[in-house]
Structure 1
Amino acid sequence: MKWNAIVATLGLFAPTSALLRFGCARLTVQRLDPLVNPGSNPSPHLHQIIGGDSFNVSMDPKTHDLVGLSSCTSCQFTEDFSNYWTAVLYFRAKNGTYKRVPQRAQAGMEGTQGGMVVYYMTDALFDTAQKSSVTAFKPGFRMLVGDVNYRDREQARDFRQLTFICMQDESTREPETLNFPTKPCPAGIMANHRFPTCWDGVNLDSPNHRDHVAYPESGTFESGGPCPSTHPVRLPQLLLETVWDTKAFNNKADWPEDGSQPFVWSSGDKTGYSTHADYLFGWKDDSLQKAMDAHTYVSAPMLKTQSIAEQNKCTVPDMVGEDFDSWLPKLPGNLEE
């Protein structure tokens, strides 16, 4: 199935359509990472975060109840107090200064401040039946996909389907690349983060936040590949889409003099291979499992929704006190490569 047909099937212009497909507004942008660097204020690099407003510097898994401690969520479904975050994209100008690239909402979600689009699915994105059974994440579940230190294609092969799309228009979903696009993208750069879909069934986390989950031992989630015996429990496919609005930075006369692409992750990576995302599960009660068991494709009647205006109201205070939006001589954290 071609991507434009998939987009039409998903009902791109209906915010609640497709499997579980929903928008989340920006909760905050701060140099914090309670999964990899708990308690560190600031953490090494800047992140953009969505979800429940209990997000803070530490979030000790033994004591931090995302549902119980959150009073709101920046996501469309009000039962989802999970937190999701990625690094932030910067533009590197010819004079060596940096400017944060804003995020834009996808069609049908206009008015959403920053944020991402989140998918939970039981089968491939284009499979309207969505009939397979999956086990929803459990309270306290956490995971990380990607590696901030990776800088080449071979390293990036450790993680499947962490990709970029150079969007020509709103419906562009191919081709996907593992590195940053090298040409101006008329409708922005989409970053896709697909998490592993097999769980060991025991551990809610692991020291590196990765070992308790795995990819299918053959094929992919989309092809129905089986989970390995070490990680036999099939999870929903969690996919995050972030559209970075690069239109203001598409004049190649402003790009580096050597002609290299001008975008850099807030971690200092100019290649794109370090792309990564973090997830802290926080759905209320068994609402996610019920949604997965319903096998719906274009609606989620068992879940409550809120308006984009309400999503935008859900924020957290600035805990770092750092300028990240002006033209900067260096990236926040003085990260340079």
Structure 2
Amino acid sequence: MGRNTRKRRSPLATKVVAGAAALAVGGGGLVWANFYASAHESDSSHHRTRSAGAQVATIQCPDVGQKLRNVPRGARSGVDKELAKLDEQITEAYARLASTRQAQSGDSAYVQNAILGPLKSKRTAALDRIGINIRRGGGDAPGGLDRFAECRGMGADQPGNGDGDNGNGGQDQDNGQGQDGGQDGGGQDDGQNQGDNGNGAAGPFADDFVDINDVQPNSRDLENGLAANGDGGSTGSFTAVCGVNENNLFNSDNLIVAPGVDNGAHHTHDYVGNQNNNAFSSDDDLAGADTSCQNQGDKSTYYWPVLRLQDGTQEFDANDLGGGAEGNVGKILKATEAEIKFVGNQQSDVVAMPKFLRIITGDAKAFTNGVANANSSFSCTGFEDRQVTDKYVLCPEGSQVVRTSNFQSCWDGQNIDSANHRDHVAFVQQDGSCANGFQAIPQLQVRLVYDVPAPTVENGQVQNPYAVDGFPEQLHKPITDHNDFINVMDENLMNEVVDCINGGEDCQ
């Protein structure tokens, strides 16, 4: 399917990522997660029950990018590249974790000595370089950056606490092996083929799914991103009709978080709107690009991780970094509907967004970071009063899967981006207003509808599941869904959007 728009990788970049790819692929097939047992899997050879959470399923590291606040503009390019190296290091360490189960079974200190220890050393060096970049840019590097170097192991059903450190040397109390050395009885037993969905993917698991009938109406578990539109303030809307990626524009870059870094996302994105999206696109490139939007004044880029059906299909990126080489496998499912709408604020008029404003909503690392920035939700057509953030939904026959993301709608009035890509925008307060110093801007709401064959869940196992693409160590958890936006509307169109919303009209 389609094409990958990633530019040719430089020889240096090829060397950097080759190690991770080599670890990820072996013997002609993926080796990501052949040890993952679904929670409460029955082990008939030992006549007992074990939990996936008792095993080291993945690696949790502090998300350094979220902790940086004051990075001089001149230092951001260098800092972003070092942050991307931290992601590469985690990917490589996770691949090693998944491919060394036999070695782990005979050595209770293997994970610490062979994986977490070397990872800490690499992270320490990258953190040092971040500090150097900040100082060279004229800033003051935050003290104690090295405290973010240590990582730990965590289970497949264990939520992250957001700090990457549990206070005992960066490891679980089981010496990084799980309560029983990472497997039962010292052998690979029936965990060898459990929980990998038949294709080596690291999740999702049966516990990641919920029947939509079991979700309580109006009980979304996170408040971030609740629709800001109401009966007062600015009540209009503007709908951008931009298609569903009919041009098959895919890549695993992330222009917001990792500009200039090939495969910065480590997962594949769908793109609608702007047709010149890759890690190397400048603002001028975006402004001069074609657009899939009906209104040619809207060259904004709207992008999100693809949804895949893990059915064994060999996609165009089956052997690529960001795709199958990093555990993102199966058939890419294109949305049947992509509703892109801008709405108003409950308490006030909205002001125009600045051109090239960047907003990320949700957190691609929420499984290990914790849920503070998690935001997207899943539902089913006909049941959209029932939204759930930490589960994929099982829809009844005739109903389709819905992904919803409501973006931050308060802007600091000055910056189109920030060091951690979050501080320049915010969600509305409980009463629908923006905090002091922030201005209400049109709230972007993205609603994606998919015709997904319902997975089968039996005896604690899920067959042919669907999942969002993600960083490999995030185990395809639904809580990691996210959405990205760069505003590239021309001035006339942005003014029209504002006028429609403030005037109570519904436009497109």
Q: TM-score, normalised by structure 1?
A: 0.66
Equivalent position of 2:286 in the other structure: 66
In structure 1, runs of 5+ residues without a counterpart are 4-17, 107-115, 125-130, 220-224, 301-337
Deviation at 1:121, TM superposition (A): 1.0
1:104-158 residue CA offsets vs partner (Å, 9 max, x unmatched): 333xxxxxxxxx220011146xxxxxx9410121112112111111128x93343
State which drifts further: 86-95 or 271-280.
86-95
Name which of 337, 350, 355 aligns with 1:139: 355
The answer for the alignment partner of 1:179 in structure 2 is 390
Q: What residue in structure 1 maps to residue 468 of structure 2?
A: 265
Conservation of the 8 A alpha-carbon contact between 1:166 and 1:181: no
Q: What whole-Å deviation, never above 9, does each CA across 1:189-229 have from its counterpart, x for those lacking one?
A: 1111111111111111012211100112324xxxxx22111
* Matching residue of 1:163: 377
CA distance in 2, matches of 1:83, 1:57: 13
CA distance in 2, matches of 1:176, 1:296: 27
Q: Residue 119 of structure 1 corresponds to which residue in structure 2? A: 341
CA shift, 1:296, in A, is 4.7
Q: How far apart are residue 164 of structure 1 and its match?
A: 0.9
Asked if the contact 1:140/1:280 (under 8 Å) is kept, the reply is: yes
**Are the aligned partners of 2:345 and 2:440 in contact in 1 as well (CA < 8 Å)?**
no
Instruction: State the secondary structure of the residue aligned to 1:118.
Output: strand
Q: Which of the numbers 198, 203, 206 marks the counterpart of 2:410?
A: 198
Report the identity percentage: 22
Matched-pair contact (CA < 8 Å) for 1:195–1:239: yes
Distance 1:104 1:278, change over 3 A: closer
SS in 2 for 1:241: strand
Distance 1:104 1:83, change over 3 A: same
Q: Distance in 2 between matches of 1:185 and 1:59?
A: 42
CA contact (8 A) 1:90 1:100 kept: yes
Change (3 A) 1:94 1:82: closer
Aligned counterparts of 2:293 and 2:419: Cα–Cα separation in 1: 28
Structure 2: gaps (5+ residues): 1-216, 219-235, 314-326
Matched, 1:88 2:306: yes
- Structure-1 residue corresponding to 2:507: 299
Q: SS at the partner of 2:499?
A: helix
- 1:199-278 maps to which residues of 2 (within 5 A)? 199-219=411-431, 225-230=432-437, 232-247=438-453, 250=454, 252=456, 258-260=460-462, 262-267=465-470, 268=472, 269-278=475-484
Q: Following the alignment from structure 2 to structure 1, what is the Cα–Cα distance between the partners of residues 406 and 328?
A: 31
Distance 1:97 1:233 in 2: 39
How far has the Cα of 1:283 moved from its partner? 0.3
Going by fraction, where is helix more abundant, 1 or 2? 2
The residue type paired with residue 103 of structure 1 is K
TM-score (norm 2): 0.45
AA at the equivalent of 1:87: P
CA contact (8 A) 1:92 1:256 kept: no
Relative CO higher for 1 or 2, CA cutoff 8 Å, sep ≥ 6? 1
Q: SS state of the match for residue 242, structure 1?
A: strand
Counterpart in the other structure of 1:56:
278
Give distance in 2, aligned partners of 1:45 and 1:151.
15
CA drift at 1:182 = 4.2
1:273 aligned counterpart, secondary structure:
helix
Deviation at 1:94, TM superposition (A): 9.1
C-alpha separation in 2, matches of 1:277 and 1:41: 19
- Measured in 2, the distance between the counterparts of 1:256 and 1:32 equals 36
Three-state SS of the structure 2 residue aligned to 1:292 is: helix
Correspondence 1:150 to 2:150: no
Indicate the residue corresponding to 1:112 in structure 2: none
Letter in 2 for 1:66: L
Contact 2:406 2:446 in 1 (8 A): yes
Corresponding residue pairs, total: 251
The 3-state SS of whatever aligns with 1:24 is coil
Specify the SS of the correspondent of 2:405: strand
In structure 1, the partner of 2:267 is 45
Q: CA RMSD in A?
A: 3.0
Q: 2:362 corresponds to which letter in structure 1?
A: G
Select 2:334's aligned residue among 103, 108, 111. 103
2:493 aligned partner, one-letter code: S
